[in-house]
Amino acid sequence: MLKKLSVASAILVLTANTALANSGPYVGAGLGITSNTATTQTFGSFRGVPLSVFAGYGGIVYQNFYLAGELTGILATGELSNQGAVRTSYGYGASVVPGFVLCDHTITFARLGIVRTHFSQVRVPTASTTTNQTGGQFGLGIQTALTQNVDLRGEYDFIAYKSISSGGYSAHPRSDVATASLVYKFM
């Protein structure tokens, strides 16, 4: 599924020159707060600070409608607290970012994507394991210009992962992530 989303994003980027006005590539980095929980009490909860980088291509497609394709990487997640639970450390993803232009320098957007995340220290009373899981990502955010090429972005994302099993126990991890990012647009 990640391959299909990546191919669709690549096609969007390659054909966007003819379709998008005021469009272009961008890169960025963000720092956030994440909270992972699971559907069972056995797995507890985890809070951390993820460092992410991203690259994308976006622009205005029609009047006030914005569209972008974006690839993201989570480089590391610093641990704030862990109550014997599903700790995320790194990952990557691809997403489509539709939005609406509020004024000349500000857009609001949604995020629909797929992420692949590495979970470590999945502990239950008798077992510990590491695993990679795929999840669906849904988010909302706002982005505003600080200078001609630099934007500030604030975003909230919810990620629902597939089931994790360890020591005969199973859980469906969920992640809430609030991120502040700087975006550099190549114009």
**pTM of model > 0.85:** no
Which residues does the chain have with pLDDT short of 50?
12-21
The CA distance from 63 to 6, in Å, is 27
Report the Cα–Cα distance between both ends of the chain, in Å, rounded.
32
pLDDT tens, position by position, 90-132: 899 999 999 999 998 999 999 999 999 887 765 555 556 677 8
Q: What CATH number should be reported for the domain whose range is 2-185? A: 2.40.160.20
The CA distance from 56 to 184, in Å, is 10
